[in-house]
Structure 1
Amino acid sequence: MSDDPIRRTGLRPRFWERFKLSQLTPHEWEALCDGCGKCCLNKLEDPDTGEVAFTRVACRLLDDQTCRCAQYDIRRQFVPECVFLTPQTLAKNAYWMPSTCAYRLLQQGDPLPDWHPLVSGRADSVHEAGQSVRGWTVPEFEVDEDDWEDHIIEDL
């Protein structure tokens, strides 16, 4: 096995600190996702203020234990409104993303938190830090959309 970190992972060392988001490879872009699952929570947006409220009602494709999309590569076949986040679409979508999201943080010029898997070197660090939705969501097919307000969560 090679000691070259790029060969082992396909990622340039600390790429998120050294390159602009638009300069990342597709693999590096995907690696920024911490696996928290927060972006897969259904949200309510106030039409007057634009304020976004997160609910604990999860997308039907979210695996509640892994906090990953169960059909990531073909998700738009099941959820046509699912957003493909890219460097080009980030600016118009950052407002509804959780405040802890790596894409949002880096766009704002903020560092990644210590619990982020790229910083910690461990995929489970996001869960250990209590920053994921593991174990506390409800699937959207179990809650009528008119009742989503009853599931609003604070401080996300």
Structure 2
Amino acid sequence: MGEMGMESRNDGGERPFWMTVPLSRMTRAQWESLCDGCGRCCLHKLRDDETEEIVFTNVACRLLDTMTCLCTDYPRRQRKVQDCISLTPEMLEEIDWLPPTCGYRLIHEGRPLPWWHPLVSGRPETVHEAGVSVSGRVISERRAGALEDHVVEWPGECPPGADSTRPPDPSSRG
């Protein structure tokens, strides 16, 4: 496997880049690979004017494919969506709306990537299999109407077992 697909190791072997390279020194490819493809950051959020509290919605940016959780025009997204941001390491100090499962947030906080993160699992599908992605759970802003009618809590929560570094044991399922 290449540098970005290297799994974390406990056997004294080489450690993956996300455990050894500071966020500010990562290559563009390394930085981009920290995105797990969940789509949660592409959901509209509301901020209470008085309390500053963030409220999540199940309304996705119009460029997000609501099934694959991929941006349909990633290279030109900022030209098409004015409030779309390009996340940087410096911004991680200020942003308070990244989901608790976000790879950027986890690494910034010194926590390990979970078993389902594509860098660990080696497969992009595991983000969906773990129930972390927005796939099939959201509506496009083109069809949603008022954001206030779509307030939900799950984008700001970690699904059961999704914070583990080990996949669930299939034999333990009923």
Question: Structure 2 length normalisation: TM-score?
Answer: 0.79
Q: Is the 8 A contact 1:42 1:59 kept in 2?
A: yes
d(CA) in 1 for partners of 2:15 and 2:73? 29
Partner of 2:53: 51
- Displacement of 1:71 after TM fit? 0.6
Partner of 2:70: 68
Residue 150, structure 1, aligned to residue 149, structure 2: yes
d(CA) in 1 for partners of 2:62 and 2:154? 23
Secondary structure class of the residue paired with 2:136: coil
Partner of 2:39: 37
Q: Residue type matched to 2:108 in 1?
A: Q
Q: Is the 8 A contact 2:61 2:140 kept in 1?
A: yes
1:95-145 Cα deviation digits (max 9, x unpaired): 01111101111111111111111111111000000100001111112122x
Secondary structure class of the residue paired with 2:45: strand
Q: Is the 8 A contact 1:42 1:56 kept in 2?
A: yes
Partner of 1:15: 17
Q: Which runs of 5 or more structure 2 residues have no equivalent in the other structure?
A: 7-13, 156-174
Residue 100, structure 1, aligned to residue 101, structure 2: yes
Change (3 A) 1:13 1:5: farther
Secondary structure class of the residue paired with 1:118: helix
- Displacement of 1:20 after TM fit? 1.1
Q: Residue type matched to 1:116 in 2?
A: H
Question: Structure 1 length normalisation: TM-score?
Answer: 0.88
Say which of 88, 91, 100 aligns to 1:89. Answer: 91
- Displacement of 1:10 after TM fit? 8.9
Paired-residue identity, %: 50
Residue 5, structure 1, aligned to residue 2, structure 2: yes
Q: Is the 8 A contact 2:36 2:117 kept in 1?
A: yes
- Displacement of 1:77 after TM fit? 1.2
Q: Is the 8 A contact 2:59 2:147 kept in 1?
A: yes
d(CA) in 2 for partners of 1:67 and 1:10? 20
d(CA) in 2 for partners of 1:125 and 1:79? 28
Question: What is the aligned residue count?
Answer: 148
d(CA) in 2 for partners of 1:13 and 1:67? 29
| Deviant stretches of 4+, over 4 Å | 9-13
Q: Residue type matched to 2:2 in 1?
A: P
